[in-house]
């Protein structure tokens, strides 16, 4: 190559680079951007295991509440304190979703479902889902849901007592695996009215959990550089994602086709029935705008079953981990349960208001260990501002819920685990909740109530029946060893469950 040609190539490459990573005036400060991954190199360099923690550190370093950078070709800003996260979550112009590879893979090329859709489709489908699932106990207190939940928790307790499997043997259980089947079944039941045998529900939960771990909370290499899947399918998480998506679609399709076979005019016994009726009615009426389709029903199923089968077991696992680490908190929760509920029956959702210390422990665990540390990426639907910075239309907007929960302006000693911070001088739970583990506003987690109810009943049921300890020759993992993902999970660990001898006390 002649020197002139070489110089020309260099100039062209430089121009492409400068053009790709050109930032508008008053864009938030952040790391330097380099070809292909933009600022992602530095994010990973500073914390390869838990990259979201880099944003928290960067915000302090740049003395800012918003960090700005490129992730691949995506222009990205990250809100890094409680006020700025609230601004993102509550301003209408930030309620878009990012058009990326994995969401399109789930929708066979389209952005479907609830989690990754936007605009009129999202609004109509979210409203329909919440309104109809409420009738089956999703998002409110319901006797039938409570009954199902109690049965699942009782099965879990029996499994711990009698279990002789790889997941639980001699009262030593693998966490979070122990919790996969119960939580997958609770979600399958709400969506389809069905319940699967233990082994099948466990397998479903296991595959979903593996998927949650490979989608990085920063949206990951697969979303920012999807072409890399052709060269490094395993490393960028494509192998697992492709397999898990195919597996989950087959699973959901079989639930739907069972319903289609049985569907009669009167039946509306579960969400799938309701959805198919609505879809058929709209076709019959010939509605001009119709976001209802069987593909949409399938992706709502993926959203729900994926969310419930990963987030609830992961969060409950973190709570068990913290209760084992902080023994005095475990003891105080047990004392409260003994006083209020006793041992004749399992704790119920009606007991929640009378168990403030247990509630405070769950709230503090969800603050201290933010399950979705960067939430789900939002998108600016128009040119706007955030924390005083200019944010162009189309920018990906991340909420560092982790930073909101460690914000020194809001929390005393934020790095300490202290359930007492949520108890007032009368021993009651503090009404005003400044935690945001589920986000806020129009995009707030659709499963918040369901998740809180499940976590409460599982945690209190287990504590009522067992003392939690570390088995001999084992150690509890540190939170810095967590497995990163769209929802974070603890490094798998073993827990010893010892029966509490209630009868002796009576």
Closest to ligand HEM by CB, 168 vs 362, is 362
Looking at the DSSP assignment, which residues form a beta bridge with residue 175? 493
Q: Nearest approach, Cβ of 308 to ligand HEM (angstroms)?
A: 4
Largest Cα separation within the chain, whole Å, is 93
Instruction: Return the HEC string of 349-401.
Output: HHHHHHCHHHHHHHHHHHHHCCCCCCCCCEECCCCEEECCEEECCCCEEEECH
Q: Contacting ligand HEM (CB under 6 A), which of 192, 311, 403, 453?
A: 311
Stretch that binds ligand HEM, among 4-12, 284-292, 407-415, 443-451 (CB under 6 A): 443-451
Is 438 one of the binding residues for ligand HEM (CB under 6 A)? yes
Tokens standing for 247?
Answer: 């597996």
What's the distance, CA 498 to chain centroid? Answer: 30
Angle (CA) 104 109 112, round 5°: 60
Question: What is the 8-class DSSP label of residue 493?
Answer: E
Contact 217/373 with Cβ under 8 angstroms?
Answer: yes
- What is the rounded CA–CA span in Å between residue 161 and residue 170? 8
Stretch that binds ligand HEM, among 60-68, 103-111, 420-428, 434-442 (CB under 6 A): 434-442
Is 187 one of the binding residues for ligand HEM (CB under 6 A)? yes
445 in a labelled binding site: yes
Tokens standing for 132?
Answer: 């109809």
Is 308 one of the binding residues for ligand HEM (CB under 6 A)? yes
Q: Contacting ligand HEM (CB under 6 A), which of 43, 66, 78, 114?
A: 114
Is 439 one of the binding residues for ligand HEM (CB under 6 A)? yes
Stretch that binds ligand HEM, among 273-281, 290-298, 444-452, 462-470 (CB under 6 A): 444-452
Stretch that binds ligand HEM, among 34-42, 148-156, 204-212, 300-308 (CB under 6 A): 300-308
- What is the rounded CA–CA span in Å between residue 51 and residue 305? 26
Angle (CA) 16 20 25, round 5°: 125
Interface positions, 446-485, toward ligand HEM (CB under 6 A): 446-447, 450-451
- What is the rounded CA–CA span in Å between residue 218 and residue 305? 22
CB atoms within 10 A of CB 340: 16
What's the distance, CA 130 to chain centroid? Answer: 18
Stretch that binds ligand HEM, among 21-29, 149-157, 338-346, 432-440 (CB under 6 A): 432-440
Please give the torsion angle defined by the CA atoms of residues 71, 77, 79 and 83, in that order, rounded to the nearest 10 degrees: -170
Contact 349/359 with Cβ under 8 angstroms?
Answer: no
- What is the rounded CA–CA span in Å between residue 28 and residue 312? 34
Taking residues 359 to 398 in sequence order and writing x for each that binds ligand HEM by CB under 6 A, - otherwise, the string is ------------xx--xx----------------------
| Residue closest to ligand HEM when measured from CB atoms | 447
Instruction: Return the HEC string of 443-489.
Output: HCCCCHHHHHHHHHHHHHHHHHHEEEECCCCCCCCCHHHCECCCCCE
Closest to ligand HEM by CB, 312 vs 337, is 312
Q: Nearest approach, Cβ of 311 to ligand HEM (angstroms)?
A: 3
Closest to ligand HEM by CB, 114 vs 208, is 114
Interface positions, 61-90, toward ligand HEM (CB under 6 A): 89
Q: Nearest approach, Cβ of 397 to ligand HEM (angstroms)?
A: 10
Is 136 one of the binding residues for ligand HEM (CB under 6 A)? no
Q: Nearest approach, Cβ of 88 to ligand HEM (angstroms)?
A: 8
Q: Contacting ligand HEM (CB under 6 A), which of 148, 303, 364, 488?
A: 303
Q: Nearest approach, Cβ of 489 to ligand HEM (angstroms)?
A: 11
Q: Contacting ligand HEM (CB under 6 A), which of 66, 312, 476, 486?
A: 312
**34 to each of 8, 49, 52, 197, 377, how far by Cα in Å?**
20, 21, 19, 50, 22
Closest to ligand HEM by CB, 405 vs 443, is 443
Stretch that binds ligand HEM, among 156-164, 167-175, 404-412, 431-439 (CB under 6 A): 431-439
Q: Contacting ligand HEM (CB under 6 A), which of 59, 115, 181, 360?
A: 115
Positions that interact with ligand HEM (CB under 6 A) = 89, 114-115, 126, 187, 303-304, 307-308, 311-312, 315, 371-372, 375-376, 437-439, 443, 445-447, 450-451
State the binding site.
445
State the binding site for heme.
445
């Amino acid at each position: 190559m002649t020197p002139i040609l070489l110089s020309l190539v260099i100039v062209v490459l430089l121009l492409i680079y400068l053009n790709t990573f050109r930032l508008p005036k008053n864009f938030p400060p952040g790391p330097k951007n380099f070809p292909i991954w933009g600022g992602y190199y530095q994010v990973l360099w500073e914390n390869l295991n838990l990259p979201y923690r880099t944003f928290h550190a960067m915000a302090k370093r740049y003395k800012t509440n918003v960090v700005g950078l490129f992730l691949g070709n995506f222009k990205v800003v990250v809100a890094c304190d409680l006020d700025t996260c609230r601004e993102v979550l509550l301003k209408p112009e930030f309620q878009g979703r990012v058009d990326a590879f994995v969401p399109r893979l789930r929708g066979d090329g389209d952005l479907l479902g609830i989690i990754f859709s936007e605009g009129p489709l999202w609004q109509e489908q979210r409203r329909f889902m919440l309104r109809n699932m409420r009738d089956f106990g999703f998002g409110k207190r319901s006797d039938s849901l409570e009954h199902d939940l109690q049965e699942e928790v009782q099965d879990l307790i029996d499994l711990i007592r009698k279990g002789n499997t790889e997941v639980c043997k001699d009262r030593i259980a693998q966490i979070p695996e122990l919790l996969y089947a119960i939580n997958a079944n609770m979600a399958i039941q709400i969506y389809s009215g069905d319940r699967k045998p233990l082994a099948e529900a466990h397998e479903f939960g296991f595959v979903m959990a593996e998927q949650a771990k490979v989608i990085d909370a920063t949206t990951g290499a697969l979303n920012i550089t999807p072409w890399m899947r052709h060269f490094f399918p395993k490393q960028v998480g494509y192998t697992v994602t492709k397999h898990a998506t195919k597996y989950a679609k087959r699973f959901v399709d079989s639930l739907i086709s069972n319903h289609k076979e049985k569907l009669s005019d009167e039946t509306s016994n579960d969400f799938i029935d309701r959805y198919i009726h609505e879809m058929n009615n709209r076709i019959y009426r010939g509605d001009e705008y119709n976001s209802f389709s069987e593909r949409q029903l399938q992706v709502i199923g993926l959203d729900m079953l994926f969310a419930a089968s990963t987030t609830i077991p992961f969060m409950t696992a973190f709570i068990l981990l913290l209760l084992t680490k902080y023994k005095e908190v475990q003891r105080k929760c047990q004392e409260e349960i003994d006083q209020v509920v006793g041992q004749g029956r399992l704790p119920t959702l009606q007991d929640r208001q009378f168990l403030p210390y247990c509630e405070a422990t769950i709230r503090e665990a969800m603050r201290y260990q933010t399950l979705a540390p960067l939430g789900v990426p939002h998108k600016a639907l128009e040119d706007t501002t955030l924390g005083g910075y200019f944010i162009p239309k189309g920018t990906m907007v991340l909420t560092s819920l982790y930073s909101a929960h460690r914000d020194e302006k809001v929390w005393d000693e934020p790095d300490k685990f202290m359930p007492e911070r949520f108890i007032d001088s009368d021993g009651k739970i503090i009404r005003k909740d400044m935690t945001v583990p589920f986000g806020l506003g129009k995009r707030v987690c659709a499963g918040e109530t369901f998740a809180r109810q499940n976590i409460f009943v599982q945690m209190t049921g287990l504590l009522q029946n067992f003392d939690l300890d570390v088995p001999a020759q084992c150690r509890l993992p540190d939170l810095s060893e967590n497995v990163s993902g769209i929802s974070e999970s603890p490094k798998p660990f073993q827990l010893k469950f010892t029966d509490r001898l209630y009868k002796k006390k009576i």
